[in-house]
Amino acid sequence: MSFSDFHGNAETVHRLRDMLARNRFPHAVILSGARGSGKYTLALMLAQALNCLTPTETDGLPDFCGQCANCRRIAQSGDLDARFAEAVETREGLREADKKETRLFVQTHPDVLIIPPDPPQMMIKVDQVRRVIETIYYRPAEARERVYIFTDSAFMKEAANSLLKVLEEPPEFATIFLLSENPGELLPTIRSRSMVFPLAAVPVEEVERYLAEHRPEWKQSQRGGEHTQLFKITESYRPGAEGREKTERLLRTLYSLLRDLMFLGSGTPELVQNTDIQSQLTRMAETADFDWIATASDRLAEVERGMRRNLLRSLSLDSLGLALERTT
Ligand SMILES: [Zn+2]
């Protein structure tokens, strides 16, 4: 992994890396943008670049190695949904009394703390900000820079006021990232103490370049028709049903759906092929980011390879179903 793996927003990424190069990285950064624009991915990459033990340079700007202990441990937080689910599960396992006292965090590196909104209200709570205050003034143990990433900007009132106090006097060795779909919901005083970097959805040229490079088989096919086929196929499909051709058609159709999700995610709904299920696809696109679509298409490729090795079709399709479940 390196900054070259980040899709879209090249100019913004360039600006951020340039500030790293000049040792001018701000103490509070707001990354704003729609779901799927890569806010979290970029924040983790910057956390790695701030703390890489063997930093590299690409295009004349600082980059991270992705291999050293700091890079690897920070990258373990990459699957935010999975880490969040683990944290929720751990809390569920506690005694009732402790449950109430315990706030959710994701932490895979001692100096990098990720603060997700706390369920059931799904808001950042004052006890979470307290943890930030308790730790932020201590020099990092294994990193150069303490990093805090708030993954959402929905703060309880008291939590927002506490955060403001930290932002008034942040220590030299700490960086706070605030990720937001709507920075307008942050206190104006928090915004004014932070540097705001808007991230646009991944532009369509970039999606097409990516597709041409990684998925040449996704060439634009005839508009329409595909979806009708999909429903015919799923209706008649039974585990172990005969017909390799049928499964292959299903896979092709799934590819076309992923492709549509990609277009919706990049803000170009006019390129969607399966137009009659566009509203369902739009809902899916809200929870499927670029990385997820890339992973899903890799899984599809695995199924295809599995078929070639004559694995049980039903088995590989079941595992694909599990992989795709996350979007629904
Ligand atoms: Zn590294």
Say what the pLDDT of residue 256 is: 80
Cα(47) to centroid of ligand 1, in Å? 10
The mean-pLDDT minimum among 131-135, 202-206, 234-238, 250-254 falls in: 234-238
Cα(73) to centroid of ligand 1, in Å? 10
Cα(221) to centroid of ligand 1, in Å? 42
Residue 240 in this model has a pLDDT that exceeds 70: no
Cα(46) to centroid of ligand 1, in Å? 11
Least Cα distance to 150 among 173, 169, 124 occurs for 124
Cα(64) to centroid of ligand 1, in Å? 5
Cα(71) to centroid of ligand 1, in Å? 4
Say what the pLDDT of residue 324 is: 63
Cα(44) to centroid of ligand 1, in Å? 12
Cα(172) to centroid of ligand 1, in Å? 21
- List, for residues 186-230, the tens digit of each pLDDT value: 999 999 999 999 998 766 666 667 667 766 655 544 344 444 444
What pTM, to 2 d.p., does this model score? 0.68
Cα(67) to centroid of ligand 1, in Å? 5
Say what the pLDDT of residue 213 is: 72
CA 239 to each of CA 234, 244, 289: distance values in angstroms, whole numbers, following the listed order: 11, 12, 29
Residue 320 in this model has a pLDDT that exceeds 70: no
Can you read off the two tokens belonging to residue 80? 């935010």
| Residues contacting residue 234 through CB under 8 Å, at least 6 positions apart | 250
Percent of the chain with pLDDT over 70: 78
H or E element in which residue 85 lies: helix 80-92
- Mean pLDDT value across residues 258-277: 82
Say what the pLDDT of residue 296 is: 78
Cα(272) to centroid of ligand 1, in Å? 39
Cα(55) to centroid of ligand 1, in Å? 6
- Mean pLDDT value across residues 270-287: 80
Cα(1) to centroid of ligand 1, in Å? 10
Percent of the chain with pLDDT over 90: 51
272: confidence class by pLDDT, cuts 50, 70, 90: confident
Cα(106) to centroid of ligand 1, in Å? 20
Cα(310) to centroid of ligand 1, in Å? 41
How many whole angstroms separate alpha carbon 47 and alpha carbon 30? 14
In terms of C-beta density within 10 A (0-12 exposed, 13-18 middle, 19 or more buried), how is residue 81 classed?
Answer: exposed
Beta strands in 155-201 (DSSP E): 174-180, 195-198
297: confidence class by pLDDT, cuts 50, 70, 90: confident
Say what the pLDDT of residue 270 is: 80
64: confidence class by pLDDT, cuts 50, 70, 90: very high
Cα(72) to centroid of ligand 1, in Å? 7
Cα(110) to centroid of ligand 1, in Å? 15
Cα(176) to centroid of ligand 1, in Å? 20
How many whole angstroms separate alpha carbon 88 and alpha carbon 107? 13
- List, for residues 121-168, the tens digit of each pLDDT value: 899 999 999 999 999 999 999 999 999 999 999 999 999 999 999 999
